[in-house]
Structure 1
Amino acid sequence: MENTRISTGIPGLDAMLNGGLIPGRTYLVKGAPGTGKTTLAMHFAMAGVANGENVLYVTLEEPADNLRVDMARLGFDLNNPRFTLIDATPTADRYVLVDSFFESFADGIEKMIAAIKEQFRFKYYSRIIIDPITMVKLTTTKELEYRRAFLTFIKTMSRMKATVLLTSELQQTDVEEYLVSGVIELKMFDIHGNLSMGIRITKFRGSGFDGSMRPYEITDHGMVVFHDRVISLP
């Protein structure tokens, strides 16, 4: 099992991960707004779909309709039957309609675990994306309570043999970084007046990895990671 790798859908990132992610574990993608976290997560999701897997994608910030339009521009077909998109964004319409999705998925990790288990009653998902986990974290006021709930979430997903990708906009993600199996960081740099983007793996349990800051771009076809280049900071 440890030698088996699954693709992130981004060849350059797979190379940095020595072949891809180790399945059945939880990983964190962190970065400021606009760095491409959702694009990276969607590559991971679509790689699963292309491999004949069922994928569950929970969007907590970007409404599903917007996500479909934005991702279609990059060539991602979110209407594939193997791809299940749950819109858990707290929009005004949802409060009026008393939609259960937001309450189930965003009102604390315990409810999110229960909601995911409910989805598994209908089909098995080998890949799960929570984008972003930040929204769930904001519902928990006590740090210790959140830590326990987050650990329960990781253990539950592991028992379900699902590979999970979480995104986070918070720069300080100490609890998540400590408990997940791997962390991928996306950063923006101003180098001599030009905006550059860099990707770095800061943690990857159970495997060696490339820890260099590598440049990447968001193109018309999604994210491209240049694993043979290094960002040189002034």
Structure 2
Amino acid sequence: MIKFLNEYSYTIWLGLLKDYVFGIEWLDKNFSSVLKLKPLILIAGCPGSGKTVLACTISYANALRGRKVLYITFHESKEKLFKIMSDLGMNLNDVEVRGTFNFVKIPIPLSIDNLSDTIFKLISKYSPEVVVFDTINPIMTITKDESVRRVLLQNFFYGLSESINGMTILVAESIGEDINLSNIEFIADVVFILKQRISKGLISRSLMIKKIRGVEVSVAEIPFRICSNLGIVLYPPPILEEVSPEYEELELPCEVLKKVVGHIHKSMHIYITYPPDARLPHATIIPLSIALHNNLKVLVISYIYPPDVVKAQLLRALGLIELKGKEVEELIDKYIVVKSINPTAYSLDELYIHELRLVDSLEDVDVVVIHDVGLVARLSNASEYLSKFYNQLNYLRLKRVLTVRLGSYVSDELYRLNALLSSMVLRFEPVFRDGKFVGVQAYVWRRGTTPYIITSEELSRCLEEIAENLRRKCFSR
């Protein structure tokens, strides 16, 4: 049975894309023109970085289209490779049966002549349009003469694409981050460097686009994950030109917010903060009421509490404005999905990717609420955090999602950093008189408006309006 990684691989199988393909939608969208050259592609990286997965992804995508692939290896076990790729969504058995994928394991050649004879016999037998060498490192052990190696790389492999009138893929193993393949990089049409970094015991992977002949490369390094049933999933930064400035207008749930803010849009980003030692329920009620008031599906991602605790806190917060009972619980269950992530178990790259995958995995997500953002910010340096935070916001804007980020006020620097990219800021503060707590006030600012302090009296009236609106929603169904 044919196995498709996703809708895009199904499109490839239908033959709706011309010429050769990378098999990864973003790469094909941006760099497909280089494939018309019948290119020499170099995939290099350290052990475990995903080189073979990328080589198989390209091979499988072209084999699905009916292009014959010859996959040559000196060390891979066919059974092991086919099993691993099947787990990643690539059914190599199927394309092998169809005659478009041929796996050949050959012994390490004793000489250059022996190598060329073997390769050309295989080409004559299989008539491939794509030839893959995984890896070329054993070939480099044939001779220690650097000039002979240079001739082998620059003449034999580069000329192979012309010989088959197709595409050649070379996989190269390197130890460590420094990859010295200058003898072939300058003649290769495409150079992909797969990087694998370990920080605080956690792995993050990225694809470095070092060279694409004849194509402008504006994004040099892209984080990715290797996922079960999906293979390589890239998370490129969104192109701002593709992000519409405004989407659907949303109504605010009380008069004071309407007076101060007017309205908001689904593509906006709201930053809500409060003292770490006074985590006020208002910070939860306001974004929750915006979502419920507009019938929006919400994904809550919590860094500090498990899903059951988050839902209990939501119900407790609504209980403070006299919203209780089975109907309220059903409303929460209908509109809200809660996921919990331990941010210390991921590198920042992995965390960023994992969160976006959660959004992509759920249908019809209108609002993403992330709690507590101050924790992640403290676990990473400011520049790295800002980069991932910025790209995440634009990705969610592109998906027409309202983003709400809640977090304790842990430092002026982090407050300013989060406020910098926000469309709206709500900062809740307890109010004391004569040493006694008398209420909560909120500093509010929305892009295009002047800041305003919502008094505790105004905020109380706002909560009363929210309670009345939600009560009608709960009990009129």
Same fold (TM over 0.5): yes
Partner of 2:236: 227
The equivalent of 2:282 in structure 1 is none
Which residues in structure 2 correspond to 1:4-43 (within 5 Å)?
6-17=20-31, 21-43=35-57
Match of 2:172 among 168, 174, 178: 168
Off by >6 Å, runs of 4+ in structure 1: none
Match status 1:151 vs 2:154: yes
Within a 5 Å distance, the mapping from 1:56-95 to structure 2 comes to: 56-79=70-93, 80=96, 81-88=99-106
**Structure 1 runs not aligned, ≥5 long:** 89-101
Q: Relative to structure 1, is the Cα distance of residues 196 and 16 closer, same or farther in structure 2, using a 3 angstrom cutoff? A: farther
Q: Who is 1:46 aligned against?
A: 60
Distance in 2 separating the partners of 1:110 and 1:142: 15
1:225 Cα offset (Å) = 1.1
Aligned to 1:95: none
Task: Name the % identity.
Answer: 25
Going from structure 1 to structure 2, the CA distance change for 1:210 and 1:164 (only over 3 Å counts) comes to farther
Q: Tell me the matched-pair count.
A: 216
Which residue identity lines up with residue 116 of structure 2 in the other structure?
Answer: I
Alpha-carbon distance change, 108 to 71 in structure 1, aligned in 2, over 3 angstroms: farther
1:123 to 123, 126, 138: 126
Deviates more, 1:154-163 or 1:144-153: 154-163
- Identify the residue that residue 137 of structure 2 maps to in structure 1: 134
Shift of 1:121: 2.1
Hey, what does 2:408 align to over in structure 1? none
* CA deviation after TM superposition for structure 1 residue 133, in Å: 0.8
Q: CA deviation at 1:77?
A: 2.2
Measure, in 1, the Cα distance between the counterparts of 2:57 and 2:44: 15
In 2, are the aligned partners of 1:107 and 1:139 still within 8 Å (CA)?
A: yes
Q: By how many angstroms is 1:67 displaced?
A: 1.0
The alignment yields a C-alpha RMSD, in angstroms, of: 2.4
Q: CA deviation at 1:202?
A: 0.7
Distance in 1, Cα, partners of 2:126 & 2:202? 46
Residue in 1 aligned with 2:190? 182
Q: Which moved more, 1:184-193 or 1:140-149?
A: 184-193
Structure 2 distance, partners of 1:229, 1:112, is 44
SS state at 1:61 partner: coil
**Cα separation, 2, equivalents of 1:72 and 1:65:** 11
- 1:69 offset after TM fit, Å? 1.7
Shift in CA distance, 155/20, structure 1 to aligned 2, threshold 3 Å: closer
User: How far has the Cα of 1:63 moved from its partner?
Assistant: 1.8
Unaligned 5+ segments in structure 2 are: 1-17, 240-348, 350-382, 386-477
Question: Which whole-Å CA distance do the structure 1 matches of 2:219 and 2:43 have between them?
Answer: 15
- How far residue 169 of structure 1 moved from its aligned partner, in angstroms, is 1.1
Match of 2:117 among 105, 110, 114: 114
Q: Is the 8 Å Cα contact of residues 13 and 225 (structure 1) preserved in structure 2?
A: no
2:215 aligned counterpart, secondary structure: coil
Letter in structure 1 aligned against 2:162: S
Higher-Rg member (1/2): 2
Q: State the 1:118 CA deviation.
A: 1.1
1:24-60 per-residue CA deviation (whole Å, 9 max, x = no partner) reads 2211011100010000000111111111111000122
- 8 Å contact from structure 1 (residues 108, 137) kept in 2: no
Residue 160 (structure 1) shift: 2.3
Q: Structure 1 pair 74/207, CA: closer, same or farther in 2 (3 Å)?
A: same
Contact kept, 8 Å, 1:17 with 1:210, in 2: the verdict is no
In structure 1, C-alpha distance between the alignment counterparts of 2:225 and 2:181, rounded to whole Å: 24
Q: CA separation of 1:108/1:199 partners in 2, compared to 1, >3 Å: closer, same or farther?
A: farther
Between 1 and 2, higher relative CO (CA 8 Å, sep ≥ 6) is seen in 1
What is the letter of the counterpart of residue 68 of structure 2?
N
Residue 55 of structure 1 aligns with an amino acid whose one-letter code is V
Kindly indicate whether the alpha-carbon contact (under 8 Å) linking 1:5 and 1:20 is maintained by their aligned counterparts in 2: no
Q: Deviations over 1:139-192 (max 9, x none)?
A: 221010111122221123323212011111122212121222221011122456
Q: Distance in 2 between matches of 1:21 and 1:227?
A: 20
Select the structure that is richer in helix: 2
Q: Scaled by the length of structure 2, what TM-score is found?
A: 0.42
Partner SS, residue 92 of structure 2: coil
Q: Matched residues in 2 for 1:134 and 1:32: separation?
A: 12
Q: Secondary structure at the match of 2:125?
A: coil
One-letter code of the match for 2:159? Answer: K
- 1:208 aligns with 216
